[in-house]
Amino acid sequence: MLNKTDPVLKELYVAFQKLDTNEKKVKFLKDHRDSEIYNSYDIKWDNLIKVWSSKNPQSFFKSTVSVDEDENDENKEGTNDTLDN
Average pLDDT, the chain: 81
Q: What is the pLDDT of residue 20?
A: 95
Nearest by Cα to 23 from 41, 45, 62, 49: 49
* Mean pLDDT on 43-69: 82
Higher pLDDT, 79 or 59: 59
Confidence of residue 24 (pLDDT cuts 50, 70, 90): very high
Please tell me whether the overall predicted TM-score, pTM, comes out greater than 0.85 for this model. Answer: no
Alpha-carbon distance of 5 to 71, in angstroms, equals 41
Q: CA torsion 52→55→57→58, rounded to 10°?
A: 160
Residue 47: predicted pLDDT:
92
d(CA 3, CA 24): 23
